[in-house]
Structure 1
Amino acid sequence: MKYVNAEKMLPEKLLRSIQEYTQGSYLYIPIREEDKKQWGECTESKQILRERNESIVQAYRSGSSVKTLALHYYLTEHSIRRIIRGQR
């Protein structure tokens, strides 16, 4: 997140109005609800994790142990079990 000086961005009247509530502090302005994106929507992260999880399940069904999969994918055994349960 990048900070922007409000004097450079907001109209003077709006800035003065905001200063009635707070001044000299950082103010976070959240994104509008209708503009929010779901996690992974802007990157390929969601697809990469889906493919990884499918590989984990396939390897498990082919006989790989939970312990072996955990070591191979650098995850805990608990995480591997959770992924396997989620794909049933």
Structure 2
Amino acid sequence: MSYVKATEVLPEEVLNIIQKYVEGEYLYIPRKKCNRKAWGETTKSKNKTAERNLEIYRKYQEGTSIKDLSEMYYLAPKSIQKIISKIKREILQKNAS
């Protein structure tokens, strides 16, 4: 997120109205709902996490324990269990259709 000078983008009338409420402070103006981006859409985080999760599942299938996976990926055992369960569900759904 970057900052933009209000004086450079807002008409003076709008700036005067805003100054009645906030003056000399930073103001965050959220995106409209229709313009919001999903998590990971602008970075590769979503894809990297999905790849990591598939790797965790593959290693689990090969016999690596949840405790060992937890230590390898610096995640709580419960998080590892959730990842494995989610991927199992996805595979079952994919095979059912």
- TM band (smaller chain): 0.7 to 0.9
Q: Does 1:27 align with 2:27?
A: yes
The one-letter code matched in structure 1 to 2:85 is R
Give the match's secondary structure for 1:87: helix
Alignment of 1:1-88 (within 5 A): 1-88=1-88
How many residues in Structure 1 have an aligned counterpart in Structure 2?
88
Report the Cα distance in structure 2 between the residues aligned to 1:4 and 1:51, rounded to whole angstroms. 36
| Structure 2 unpaired stretches of 5+ | 89-97
TM-score (norm 1): 0.85
**Partner of 2:7: helix, strand, or coil?**
helix
Structure 1 residue 20, shift from structure 2 partner: 3.0
CA RMSD of aligned residues (A): 1.5
| Inter-partner Cα distance in structure 2 for 1:4 and 1:43 | 22
> Which structure is higher in helix share?
2
CA deviations 1:6-65 (Å, max 9, x no partner) are: 223211121112223333333221111111110011111111111111111111111110
State the TM-score, normalized to the length of structure 2.
Answer: 0.78
Question: Take 2:44 and 2:4, find their aligned partners in 1: how far apart are those partners?
Answer: 29
The percentage of aligned residue pairs carrying the same residue is: 45
Over 4 Å off, 4+ runs: none
